[in-house]
Amino acid sequence: MKKAVFLTIFFIVLIILVPSTAAQSINTIEVHENGTALWTIQERVSLETQPKLNEWNQFISTGQGYRYQQIVEELNDRTNQSLISAENYTKRTMEIRDVNISYDMLNTTTGTFGIINFHFEWVNFSHVNSSGIFIGDAFTEVMVPSPENVLIIKIPDNYDIVSVSPEFDKDDGTRLIWDGTMYRSFNVGEPSLVLKPKTDIWPMATNFVLPNAITSTWPLNILILILLILISGISVLLLKRKRTITTENDDDVSLLEQNLTMEYLEDEEMIIKILIKHNGQAKQSDIVTETGFSKSKISNVLAKMKEDGDIEKIRKGKSNLIRLKNN
């Protein structure tokens, strides 16, 4: 009885500590700002016997080996099918290019594996517009991650995550990790991410350089204190100037417009997500229903989005059809 309990605890701990070693496939997607993504699909093949190990070594040296050639062909077919399916679903023109295949071996606590690395570039994988980057609509039924997979999405360094669904299991900065070996399942269009460019102005301040004569003789803490005082003084001056300006009627209107712009930006993101959810287009009345906003508010936001070139409005009988434009 004690032995059975011990073995049960051991296997539970093993699953928790080394989930990635159980994965049959590790998919890494590096997303770029222009919507292109660099993919690496790493397929693992168990080499638990000496004949299989010999067969693997012969395959990577000669390229001959039906079982492993079939895996490569299946990867190539699945990628092409995913492209066609994603194009039909998103209405975006896409392309798979620069396909490259490499091989390796991996020794883990659970055994030895042959590694097939399938690299390619997926053009127009993400939807990009003036609001940000939208990831997920290319995950159709063909390429949606499975429970045997680990999915890693690397986002651009200068972008922040606005929303993500479902929540990732781990992250190490710009790499988000979903571990399918932990019994996670995905639906079509998942994982879904919305990214926005960072607006941090601190790097501008860090570019300030003090003269060598000062930096060579003054202690570091004094230099930091002086820098903070300078930044605080500039902030106070800017605040006073802003208060003076806002006392004038014209500038009150300008400030109101800025606030409205921020509000519209958040509403635009919500509408874009709804359109992506509905295959890139939806009735205006459906958008009103899903957002819960008034008809007039949605009409104003859509007018702004049309002016910015993010959508097109098509008259269908007594209603409007709203469609995303490809950027």
Q: Residue 184 above 80 pLDDT?
A: no
Percentage of the chain lying above the pLDDT 70 cut: 72
> Which residues, in sequence order, are bridge partners of residue 282?
322
* Tokens read off for 80: 């092409």
pLDDT digits (tens, 9 = 90+) for 187-244: 888 889 999 998 754 444 445 454 554 444 456 666 677 777 878 777 767 666 655 5
Q: How many CA atoms lie within 13 A of 207 on its CB side?
A: 4
DSSP single-letter state for residue 174 = S
pLDDT band (50, 70, 90) for residue 132? very high
Q: Which residues of 165-199 are buried (b: 16+ CB within 10 A; e: fewer)?
A: eeebbeeeeeebbbbbbeebebeebbbbbbbeeee
Most confident of 18-32, 41-55, 183-197: 41-55
Residues with Cβ within 8 Å of 200's Cβ and at least 6 positions away in sequence, in order, are: none
**Which of 82, 67, 73 minimizes the C-alpha distance to 145?**
82
Q: Is the bond preceding residue 191 a cis peptide, omega within 30 degrees?
A: yes
CA distance 72 to 99: 12
Which pLDDT score is estimated for 152? Answer: 92
Q: How many CA atoms lie within 13 A of 29 on its CB side?
A: 28
Kindly write down the DSSP assignment for every residue of 51-99, as one continuous string: HHHHHHHHHHHHS--HHHHHHHHHHHHHHHHHHHHHHHHH----EEEEE
Please say whether the beta carbons of 162 and 196 come within 8 A: yes
Q: Residue 309 above 90 pLDDT?
A: no
* Phi, psi of 207, deg, nearest 5: -80, -10
CA distance 186 to 146: 7
Which pLDDT score is estimated for 214? Answer: 46
* Phi, psi of 36, deg, nearest 5: -75, 150
Residues with Cβ within 8 Å of 265's Cβ and at least 6 positions away in sequence, in order, are: 131
Domains and their CATH numbers in the chain: 22-197 (no CATH), 212-324 (1.10.10.10)
* Range in 129-138, 181-190, 209-218 the model is least confident about: 209-218
Residues with Cβ within 8 Å of 64's Cβ and at least 6 positions away in sequence, in order, are: 58
> Which residues, in sequence order, are bridge partners of residue 154?
30, 175
Edge-first strand order for the sheet with 159-165 is 127-129, 132-135, 192-197, 159-165
What's the predicted TM-score (pTM) here? 0.58
Q: What is the mean pLDDT of residues 76-90?
A: 90
